[in-house]
């Protein structure tokens, strides 16, 4: 369980770092085709919204790792899947709102 927890925390740290960079305005970390139709005036809000989706994913990874430490691996995996689903839903909603579609 410790190895799983460490992997979850390391992966969460990576998503937090990328999310923080995007939140600060480094939109080059997002594929060009994902931001093809985003208006120039909305690029800042788009980056912040994408970063929030990544932060939700990082929180789900951390929560899954913490639950795994407690020994409830089934609950840990469930938390990971639910958190991932919420994060993906947020990212899809952001893409549709700012880009007019997923791609």
Contact 64, 78 (CB under 8 A): no
Predicted confidence (pLDDT) per residue in 9-58, tens digit: 999 999 999 999 999 999 999 999 888 999 999 999 999 999 999 999 99
Q: How far apart are CA 39 and CA 43, in angstroms?
A: 6
Predicted confidence (pLDDT) per residue in 76-88, tens digit: 999 999 999 999 9
How many C-alpha atoms does 9 have within 13 Å on its Cβ side? 11
Residue whose pair of structure tokens reads 């980056």 in the numeric block: 47
Q: How confident is the model at residue 102 (pLDDT cuts 50, 70, 90)?
A: confident
Residue whose pair of structure tokens reads 């995007």 in the numeric block: 22
Predicted pLDDT of residue 7: 97
Structural domain boundaries in the chain: 2-99
Torsional sign, CA 10, 8, 51, 94: positive
Predicted pLDDT of residue 101: 83
Q: What is the reported pTM?
A: 0.92
Q: How far apart are CA 70 and CA 43, in angstroms?
A: 41
Element (H, E) at 99: helix 73-99
Predicted pLDDT of residue 103: 72
Q: How confident is the model at residue 73 (pLDDT cuts 50, 70, 90)?
A: very high
């Amino acid at each position: 369980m410790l190895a799983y927890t460490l992997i979850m925390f390391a992966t969460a740290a990576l998503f937090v770092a990328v999310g923080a960079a995007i939140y600060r305005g480094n939109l080059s970390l997002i594929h060009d085709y994902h931001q093809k139709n985003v208006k120039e005036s909305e690029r800042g809000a788009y980056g912040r919204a994408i970063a929030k989706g990544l932060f939700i994913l990082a929180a789900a990874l951390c929560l899954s790792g913490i639950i795994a430490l407690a020994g409830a691996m089934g609950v840990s995996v469930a938390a990971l899947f639910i958190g991932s689903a919420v994060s993906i839903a947020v990212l899809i909603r952001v893409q549709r709102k700012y880009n007019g579609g997923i791609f």
